[in-house]
Amino acid sequence: MVEKELMYNYKVFLPTAGIGSRVKGQSNNLNKCLIGIDNKPVISHIVEKFHPKVSFVVALGYGGNYVKQYLEITYPERDFTFVHIDNFEGEGSGLGLTMNTCKDELQCPFVFISNDTIIEEELYFDELKYNWLGYSTIKAGNDYRSITIDDDGNVLSLNDKTPNSNDYSYIGICGIKDYKDFWKYMEEKNSLTMGESYGILRLLKNHNFNSFKFSWYDTGNKESLDSAKNKLKSKYQPNILEKDDEAIWFANNKTIKFSTDKKFISDRVKRTKALSYYVPKVIMYSDNFYSYKFIKGNVFSQEVTGKKFEYLLSWLDKFWVEKKLNKSEQDKFTSDCKKFYKDKTIDRVDLYFNKFYNKDSDEIINDNKLPRLDSLLSDIDWDYISNGKPVRFHGDLHFENILINETVNGIPFSLLDWRQNFNGEYEYGDIYYDFAKLYHGLIISHDFINKNFYNYTREMNYVYYDFHRKNTNMDCERILESYVIEKGYDWKKVKIMTSLIFLNIAGLHHYPYCHLLYYLGKSMLSEELK
């Protein structure tokens, strides 16, 4: 500890307490610093710009438990001090209060950085030798405070937000060397509403400030957030569709899985024992997160060909090991299948209707008159659907969850993002569900959805949808059908179950993709029940 203090005479202060009102609705009820950009949270883009041995002081408030877990899971080698801010919303709250609550941990020079500020430059330095402000050549306008600097880069003033300001933008990052005077000024009443700007303004009267220019991305409002997502998107990142209650991120050479459901996480971790060799080894986990070492390779969707798909199916032959059950176990498995397919479908459809204010009705879908969904569901022979085959299963087996390995010797594929259980069972599930998930991924391509290569419109009871499909995927569909039939399975059952999957996941995805999934599922189900 002494050596670290001697090498680095400063800390980094990162406030994450606020509710992020300007991006409300964009963060899936997470703290805004956990919004994903290029498949990793904003806070990772910030933390990784600093040397691994620099200490952080992190203020926690709204969604603070998730922020703390994420940092501990992702960066166990880094030094974080967490300060809980009780009053992070409403009267009396604000950045000034947050800072003053944390000042005991910041009795040294420190770097302040907003939790919505992403920069391209690294901040690797051993010592904070002077005060400085970070700026961007983006004009401040009415959105940001601005700074005025002289020809030598000295800061002359930090200015209020002003309409049509042509000065450079202050970007919410600064170095405070004269911390004792700063904290003295922050004790004054006006600091509570102004935050770090108040202390800077007071320091500027008696202390010099240098300036540093940064390549800056603001993630603090919807427009700038969308811009940052587009500009910072890597070409070869996997296509992961966002959900309200879970996420997958890649940071610090790890894959990190998040869920709001604690049992979901614990069950996922528990299932790795039954799936060892085929799935990555979990290295750390907490209530809402687990992580495993990042595996280099391409997801199958990026390299799919008919020949490779045939090879994948032959490899999965070894994965789908049948579980021999006695009569009582088989009866229970059949009952589990019915609950998993029928009961879950009804619950998930209700979720979709309630979440997106839709209702069950007779509809004209792509020029075909279809009855209410509850009528279609009542026509399903659930005993037929529930007559499954117990095997070691994955549970979400689409191409984005199948990795073609580059680094794991002798193992051609790694299976990712496995289902946590099959109606409470960890060791086995229905092979038909894996077939249906494969088929679902052959119909809907995540990369096409991310590119908005689909349409959905509705007027009264007239619904129209369409979506792009890859020719290769349609070739693979025929290969999958042949495989299923040759192995003695029922292809019609696979198609019915795939339609149920689309209905099940409609309520879990964003608008308008949710409606495409629902009406695709309803249309497929109607067609297969004819």
Q: What is the mean pLDDT of residues 19-30?
A: 60
Taking CA 405 as the corner, what is the angle to CA 42 and CA 486, rounded to the nearest 5 degrees?
120
Give the CA dihedral 394, 454, 509, 306, nearest 10 degrees. 10
Give the homologous superfamily in CATH for domain 2-231: Spore Coat Polysaccharide Biosynthesis Protein SpsA; Chain A (3.90.550.10)
The mean pLDDT of 480-495, rounded to a whole number, is 98
Q: Considering only CA atoms, which of 430, 454, 197, 203 is closest in space to residue 330? A: 430
CA distance readout (Å), 71 to 102, 125, 502 = 18, 22, 34
How far apart, in whole angstroms, are the C-alpha atoms of residue 410 and residue 406? Answer: 10
| pLDDT range class, residue 1, cuts 50, 70, 90 | very low
Please check whether residue 335 is in contact with residue 343, taking contact to mean a CB–CB distance below 8 angstroms.
no
pTM given for the model: 0.87
More confident residue, 98 or 20: 98
Cα–Cα distance for residue pair 242/515, rounded to 1 Å? 15
CA atoms of 275 and 487, how far apart (whole Å): 23
Q: What is the pLDDT of residue 354?
A: 96
Reported as a single tens digit per residue, the pLDDT across 348-387 is 999 999 999 999 999 999 999 999 999 999 999 999 999 9
Average pLDDT, the chain: 91
Q: Mean pLDDT across the stretch 215-235?
A: 87
3-state secondary structure of 79: coil
pLDDT of residue 408: 61
Query: Measured in whole angstroms, how far is the alpha carbon of residue 98 from the centre of its chain?
Result: 27
Please determine, for residue 313, whether its predicted confidence score (pLDDT) is greater than 60: yes
> Averaged over 5-14, what is the pLDDT?
78
Looking at residue 90, what is its pLDDT? 62
**Rounded to whole angstroms, how far apart are CA atoms 197 and 155?**
14
Q: Which residues contact 525 (CB under 8 A, 6 or more apart)?
A: 373, 376, 377, 380, 496, 499, 500, 503
Residue bearing the bigger pLDDT, 83 or 245: 83
6 pLDDT higher than 70 = no
- What residues are paired with 51 via a beta bridge? none
Q: Give the length of the chain.
A: 530
Q: Which residue has the tokens 């992403």?
A: 118
Task: Give the model's confidence band at 284: pLDDT under 50 very low, under 70 low, under 90 confident, else very high.
Answer: very high
Q: Calculate mean pLDDT across residues 296-310.
A: 92
pLDDT band at 190 (very low <50, low <70, confident <90, very high): confident
pLDDT, position 130? 93
CB atoms within 10 A of CB 198: 22
Contact 136, 145 (CB under 8 A): no
Per-residue pLDDT at 307 exceeds 70: yes
* Averaged pLDDT, 307-324: 96
Tokens standing for 473? 């995927």
pLDDT band at 147 (very low <50, low <70, confident <90, very high): very high
Percent of the chain at pLDDT > 90 equals 77
Residues 72 and 21: beta-carbon distance below 8 Å: no
Which tens digits make up the pLDDT trace of 127-144?
899 999 999 988 877 788
CATH 3.90.550.10 residue ranges of the chain are 2-231
pLDDT in tens, 396-407: 999 999 999 876
Rounded to an integer, what distance in angstroms lies between the CA atom of residue 187 and that of residue 101?
Answer: 11
- Which part of the chain is CATH 3.90.1200? 299-528
Secondary structure element (H or E) that encloses residue 272, with its range: none
Q: First vs last Cα of the chain: how many Å apart?
A: 72
Per-residue confidence (pLDDT) for residue 520, from 0 to 100 = 98
Task: Indicate whether 24 pLDDT > 70.
Answer: no
Q: Would you say domain 299-528 falls under CATH 1.10.287? A: no
Mean pLDDT of 4-14: 75
Q: Report whether pLDDT(338) > 60.
A: yes
Report which DSSP code applies to 300: G
pLDDT of 247 > 50? The answer is yes
- At residue 223 the predicted structure's pLDDT band, cuts being 50, 70 and 90, is confident
Taking only the tens place, the pLDDT of each residue in 258-280 is 999 999 999 999 999 999 889 99
